[in-house]
Amino acid sequence: MVKLVIITCISFIVLSVSSGCTDFDEPNQLAFVIGTAIDCADNGEMEISQQIVITSQTPSKGGSFSGSNNYIILSAKGKDIFEAQQKIQRETSRRLMMNHRILIAISEEFFNKNDVRKIFDKLGRDPANSLRDIIVLIKGSSAKQFLKMKHPMEPLSSIGEDKKLHTNAIRSFSSRTLIIESLTDGIRSMLPVIQIKQPKNNSKIMNTNMIVSKYAVLDKQLKVRGILDDVEGGRAGWMSGNETVQGVTIPWKDGKSYLSFRLTHLKRRVHATSVDGADKKQVVMSVKAQAYLLENTTPLNLSDVNNVIVIQNYMDEQLEKELQQTMDKVQSWGEDIFGIGEFLHRKYPYWWKSHKTEWEQHFKDIDVKVKVNIDFKSIGMIGKL
């Protein structure tokens, strides 16, 4: 019995000593990558830049960032992402940690000169990538320069752009979404564009006042086919199902007054019917939203229910007109960012089989009508001033 107790104690001691983790990296052994920039380099190579937060400089709870010493930018050139990233890894004393990355910035030059689809092999194949990071196109400068820019309200430019997109309820621009769309025949991609303006008066400091948001419409090869401004991009985001909240200002019939609304619960639904036999399709894009009136400079007294009905019908007509203009503009490029092709694929699989190879041309020719139905929820706290 005593021998059994001694053996049990010895075994317990040995197990306690040998059961520790040997392959675990402590936080002070990791370099947390927050943003990545991809630019063109000489001889057909690419330049990868990593925005790495310096954890020793991060503030304690309740503190704030100060200065520009809370991050560093490390860059390297290579034939692909892995080769460049390995060169960066050799420059730092800590292991690069990609799981916390929130943004990937790709320069317009890289989009124009390279096959962007190739970089998604590394993103999708390597389990170290979370695929939740947002992808943006940088216009007017290099993507590396964007990472170096100072943000007046956030510690890093990557964090500032990520928060701006989420604050404005702009979603579905993750690398995972872009990879799926690039592999799907019936939908094309749309990306946020950061337009960087050069500083005036020979100023060497760049800030977010020099950034204007737009949207790039991409083709099947992920080449830029057209640019939508901020308003058009918001409409396209509504019709593609990528936005949930939006603000609109509508001119009144007299040309002098305006109505401003906050639209929530943005939804869209696609309907399709066959016309002229089974080959030609007619598509109706139905969009819905709940409207809350925030400002009214018209002479109408909205305490009167009849005036509310007039405004609601007028708002439906105006929004329908504006959304149809955006739809027609995107259709002229032939790039289906709304996923109409995927809808037709599910509803008419045999029809789609004979049309998917030239969907760009078919999308141009298809008849798409936009219908708007706004549910007027609130006129505000007062009826008339």
Q: Are 123 and 99 in contact, with CB atoms under 8 Å apart?
A: no
Using the predicted structure, report yes or no on whether residue 378 has a pLDDT greater than 90.
Answer: no
Q: Is 21 helix (H, G, I), strand (E, B) or coil?
A: coil
Reply yes or no on whether the pLDDT at 206 is more than 50.
no
Euclidean distance between CA atoms 191 and 378, whole angstroms: 33
Best CA proximity match to 137, nearest among 228, 32, 198: 228
Decide: residue 282, CB within 10 A, 0-12 exposed, 13-18 middle, 19+ buried. Answer: middle
Mean pLDDT (whole number) for 291-318: 90
Sheet containing strand 245-251, strands side by side: 245-251, 258-275, 280-296, 367-378
> How far apart, in whole angstroms, are the C-alpha atoms of residue 194 and residue 105?
9
- Nearest Cα to 347, choosing from 287, 289, 284, 265? 284
Q: Which of 193, 98, 210, 217 has its CA nearest to residue 136? A: 193
User: Model confidence over 107-134: pLDDT tens digits?
Assistant: 999 988 888 888 887 877 888 788 888 8
pTM comes to 0.82
Residue 338 near residue 239, CB atoms below 8 Å: yes
Parallel, antiparallel or unpaired: strands 245-251 and 367-378? unpaired
The answer for 380, left when phi > 0, alpha when psi is -120 to 50, beta otherwise, is left
Q: Where do the domains of the chain lie?
A: 28-55+69-228, 231-384
Cβ neighbours, 10 Å, residue 77: 16
Query: Which tokens is 64 given?
Result: 């704030």
CATH homologous superfamily of 231-384 equals Nutrient germinant receptor protein C, domain 3 (3.30.300.210)
Pick from 309, 255, 266, 314: nearest CA to 291: 266
CA distance linking residue 91 with residue 291, whole number of Å:
54
Q: How far apart are CA 159 and CA 186, in angstroms?
A: 32
Contacts of 14 (CB under 8 A, 6+ apart): none
Percent of the chain with pLDDT over 70: 83
pLDDT at 67: 46
* Residue type present at position 29: Q
Alpha helices in the chain (DSSP H): 2-18, 81-91, 108-113, 119-125, 143-148, 157-167, 175-182, 230-240, 305-333, 340-347, 349-353, 359-365
Per-residue tokens: 162: 């990520």
Is there a contact between 152 and 142 (Cβ–Cβ < 8 Å)? no
- Say which DSSP state 261 is in: E
- The least confident of 74-83, 236-245, 337-346 is 236-245
Question: If phi over 0 gives left and psi between -120 and 50 gives alpha, with beta otherwise, what is residue 2?
Answer: alpha
- Per-residue model confidence as pLDDT tens digits over 324-374: 999 999 999 999 999 999 999 998 899 899 888 889 999 998 999 999 999
Highest mean pLDDT among 203-212, 275-284, 333-342: 333-342
**Tokens, residue 80:** 């692909």
* 3-class DSSP assignment, residue 217: strand
Number of other residues whose CB lies within 10 A of the CB of residue 133 = 25
The string of pLDDT tens digits covering residues 21-66 is 555 567 778 888 999 999 999 888 999 999 998 876 555 444 444 4
Kindly state the percentage of the chain with pLDDT values over 90: 34
Average pLDDT estimate for 148-166: 84
The whole-number pLDDT of residue 62 equals: 45
pLDDT of residue 17: 53
| DSSP H or E stretch at residue 269 | strand 258-275
Please give the full DSSP string across 89-137, using - where no structure is assigned: HHH-SSEEE-TT--EEEEEHHHHHHS-GGGHHHHHHH-TT--S-SEEEE
- Give the residue carrying structure tokens 């977010």: 208
